Chains A and B, each alone.
Chain A
Amino acid sequence: QKEVEQDPGPLSVPEGAIVSLNCTYSNSAFQYFMWYRQYSRKGPELLMYTYSSGNKEDGRFTAQVDKSSKYISLFIRDSQPSDSATYLCALNTGGFKTIFGAGTRLFVKA
């Protein structure tokens, strides 16, 4: 069983839609939760960083962590064609090693 499970998609939505991206994990020791965005032929860029449970909002993006369910989410409001990318969740226990999900490909149609 993988430590982190992420639906690869692709997920196709119309412009303006609310997008929900999710990951589930098995290791309860994870404390740090990140979301990265990766455009085609580029390296991942950090989008959101959350420590422990709860919500964090940054503009159109909201990251949610539910440690009791071992479930993390990224919500994108008013999605734009420029949001079309692959979104990777990443989890860390506090040590050197970060576990990445395989990524969900998102397409936002104009």
Chain B
Amino acid sequence: EADIYQTPRYLVIGTGKKITLECSQTMGHDKMYWYQQDPGMELHLIHYSYGVNSTEKGDLSSESTVSRIRTEHFPLTLESARPSHTSQYLCASSETGGARETQYFGPGTRLLVL
């Protein structure tokens, strides 16, 4: 079982609030990812990181930001939450080399913005 954790699991918040979704992994993986998943839809890549101090935006236009100060930690921040941000957010990690690009996912954070 993958050792990747996300908190909170569920969050209901009002419009305009700043929120941070936490993601941590204990596998020492270099690469980490944030995805957005809506029911019946593909996973959309929001941000990814190759390693410490390396972050890039994904395909999905997002008003969120990420940081990677430590290998194991990859938090996602929404400066001002809006109802359009309501979704499930999945964090994942993968190792470099070996069975490349097999990603290990956290349990997800379900966000509801009122």
Contact = CB atoms under 8 A, between A and B. Distances in A.
B105 A103 contact: no
Q: How large is the interface on A (under 10, 10 to 19, 20 to 34, 35 or more residues)?
A: 20 to 34
A74 to B, nearest CB: 15
B45 interface: yes
A53 interface: no
Given A32-B101, A92-B101, A98-B101, A44 B45 contact: no
Contact of B101 (A2, A94, A102): A94
Interface of B is mostly: loop
A97 B33 CA distance: 10
Contacts of A36: 105
A36 B31 CA distance: 18
A43 B40 contact: no
Interface in B55-114: 58, 90, 92, 99-108, 110
A46 B100 CA distance: 13
Interface of A: 2, 4, 8, 32, 34, 36, 41-46, 49, 88, 90, 92, 94-103
Interface of B: 2, 6, 31, 40-43, 45, 48, 50, 58, 90, 92, 99-108, 110
